[in-house]
Amino acid sequence: MMTYVVPIVIGFFFAFALQKAGLGHYHKIVNQFRFKDNTVMKFMMTGISVGLVGIYTLKDLGFLQMDQVSSTYIVGNLLGGLIFGVGMALAGT
Amino acid sequence: MGFNKTMKEKVWSPWAAGVLLGLTAVGSYVLVGKTIGSSGGIENIDSILLKAFDSSWANLMYFKYQMPPVLSFQILLFVGMILGALTSSLWSKDFKFRMLPDQQWTQTFGPSKLKRWVMIFIGGVIIEFSAGIAGGCTSGLAISGTMQLSPAGLIFIVGLFISGIITTKLLYGGDY
């Protein structure tokens, strides 16, 4: 039961944060690329900062193991990112 | 500022929403041992569909082992995401059905609904395909990866901003 409930609760708060940041809107995403609205950057960087501090603190205190680190393939990550940006700018999602 | 009043705000400060995102990401790591991501779940759904229709693609290594046809963490995340976004938008009375974006779109691309739907579809295909190449999307790689100090996340952010800026510049032309 918990295996199903916990991911749903996590997803709930994830999308709640996204919606409250206004990132469901086309203009929020596209205007980041036009540098007229820096919501996306502020939102992402705050999320990353809070998560970074939280995860590394809990790791050093021994509460969690960092075994989910995304693997780095320079060509794959960069090429994927380059194509991804095109889709993001077209769709505004 | 009471709790209910805060929830009724249509848009929070991006810093506040970002803190909630960070806490959610930490919670996910501690409780489930997995990182938040959106694109992977779609690939699990693809994998389930390929298997259901007996497609030969279902036997590819990618769909057999990397994105197996199971009810994965990320598919459950989608269920929660729909509920979360729905709750947030209903609570703040921001919920509505839209065929076109509210602002900016019609000034630049005209009132054609078809154009918007074709573009969002093509954009979506490109996003999902490239997330497969890179190993994650904005949430799964850029946010979850970078917060573990994985270089992959930062490389991905650099890539998506370079091409995002160029594409927007091309689309908007002189209006950029």
Q: Summarize the confidence of residues B45-57 as an average pLDDT.
A: 87
Give the three-state DSSP class for B70. Answer: coil
Of B9, B18, B168, the CB nearest to A43: B18
Q: pLDDT per residue over A25-77, tens digit each?
A: 899 999 999 999 999 999 999 999 999 999 999 999 998 888 888 888 899 99
Residue B118: how many other CB atoms lie within 10 Å = 12
Q: Summarize the confidence of residues B140-148 as an average pLDDT.
A: 91
CA distance linking residue B155 with residue A4, whole number of Å: 33
Residues B21, A78: C-beta atoms closer than 8 Å? no
Residue in B with minimal Cα distance to A64: B30
Residues A90, B126: C-beta atoms closer than 8 Å? yes
Q: Number of helices (H) and strands (E), helices first, in chain A? A: 4, 0
Contact between residue B108 and residue A50 where contact means Cβ atoms under 8 Å apart: no
Looking at CA atoms only, how far is residue B56 from chain A in angstroms?
25
Amino acid at position B23, single letter: L
Q: pLDDT per residue over B114-125, tens digit each?
A: 999 999 999 999
Residues of A in contact with B32 (CB under 8 A): 6-7, 10
Mutate which of A29, A42, A75, A82 to disrupt the B interface (most B C-beta within 10 Å)? A82
pLDDT of residue B124: 93
**Residue B86: CB partners within 8 Å, gap ≥ 6?**
B95
φ, ψ dihedrals at A27, nearest 5°: -70, -25
User: Quick one: pLDDT band at residue B173, thresholds 50, 70, 90?
Assistant: confident
Residue in A with minimal Cα distance to B133: A80
Is residue B174 pLDDT above 80, yes or no? no
* The two structure tokens encoding residue A91: 């769709």
Looking at CA atoms only, how far is residue A89 from chain B in angstroms?
5
- Quote ipTM for the complex: 0.93
Q: Summarize the confidence of residues B92-99 as an average pLDDT.
A: 87
How many Cα atoms sit within 13 Å of B89 on the Cβ side? 17
pLDDT of residue B1: 64
Residues B119, A91: C-beta atoms closer than 8 Å? yes
Q: Summarize the confidence of residues B31-44 as an average pLDDT.
A: 88
pLDDT of residue A64: 87
**Residue A10: CB partners within 8 Å, gap ≥ 6?**
B24, B27, B28, B31, B32, B36, B77, B80
Q: Could you tell me the end-to-end alpha-carbon distance of chain B, in angstroms, rounded to an integer?
A: 38
Is residue B176 pLDDT above 80, yes or no? no
Residues A19, B94: C-beta atoms closer than 8 Å? yes
pLDDT of residue B115: 92
Residues A10, B31: C-beta atoms closer than 8 Å? yes
Contact between residue B105 and residue A59 where contact means Cβ atoms under 8 Å apart: no
Contact between residue A91 and residue B160 where contact means Cβ atoms under 8 Å apart: no
Residues B167, A81: C-beta atoms closer than 8 Å? no
